[in-house]
Structure 1
């Protein structure tokens, strides 16, 4: 694929703490000031494309929803003082089209099953089953139970990327 020297150059330009995983375009323009080899542009693009870190944090550009409550976003506000009823968090569910939000008091210790029960009674019963849910990678949203529930409801689960909350910007702005 690459010679040893090409691999070293690509790695130094992309993977070090000082380079912070640039995009293939930026990396190519930076490298071409100092280096050149036949097929360098393609090599840079391939290197970035197979970078596991980049694939995990790459933002997914999203089209607007076509119908209300067809696509929703979810997030939690945590670290709140405990209420008299024992709640210490707020679960926020936002419709991507209308921006209507539900604020559901919850406890951080709730299981995926408990959240699913609340989701069905507070969201699905009012608005129907959405086609897509965008949320962060919180354990409640990545649990096997939650995944199986939405698989049976034919709802696609999409997760915002680490350190890139803009993917779930709708809910983050509501927070």
Structure 2
């Protein structure tokens, strides 16, 4: 009987690593932190006294997690406008809220036409979603995109600038993508468009 009143299966030492691996890596390759990994063990209905210490050790020894750690000042790119890379100035990021799968594309402009072309490519590859949530920028809030989404039967919802949690997953992925690109491009930030697919 756990502190929260739930009855959970007490796990033997031999099984703990297997359960932790499943909860940390997961079917979507989540690489969750120690507290989320420990919570996933609880949610799965398992228990042992040192869950969180073992989860912390697992995350500290996970190569993929360590590569995505915080960057030092020497790794940071200067805070300035994004540098053109082979005529690309923008990155359009789309996230599936169910699987947390991210797709992105380097774009020379951020007009409606390129957004529609990118969405049509995604619809062909993954199927048509029920809804699309976007911010209120002009390349999303316009008649052309509304017409295309209506043709495909997609509900278009807008996040409000006063409630940024609406697009929280996208913001998290944008931060992670920026961090990975900063680490991988190093001293030559003009090659970021070539590294985008690897970063994603």
Q: Scaled by the length of structure 1, what TM-score is found?
A: 0.51
> Which residue does 2:137 correspond to in 1?
138
Q: Give the secondary structure class of the aligned counterpart of 1:87.
A: coil
Runs of 4+ in 1 over 6 A off after TM superposition: none
Post-superposition offset of 1:88? 1.1
- Matched-pair contact (CA < 8 Å) for 2:90–2:110: no
Q: How does 1:1-175 map to 2 (within 5 A)?
A: 79-83=81-85, 85-107=86-108, 109-121=109-121, 123-175=122-174
Distance in 2 separating the partners of 1:127 and 1:168: 20
Cα distance in 2 between the residues matched to 1:156 and 1:118: 17
> Secondary structure at the residue paired with 1:91?
strand
Partner of 1:37: none
Normalized per residue, which structure has more strand?
A: 1
Could you say which structure has the higher helix fraction? 2
Helix, strand or coil at the partner of 1:86: coil
State the Cα distance separating 1:115 from its structure 2 match.
1.7
Q: Which residue of 2 aligns with 1:23?
A: none
* TM-score normalized with structure 2 length: 0.45
Structure 2: segments with no counterpart, 5+ residues = 1-80, 175-200
Listed as ranges, the gaps of 5+ residues in structure 1 are 1-78
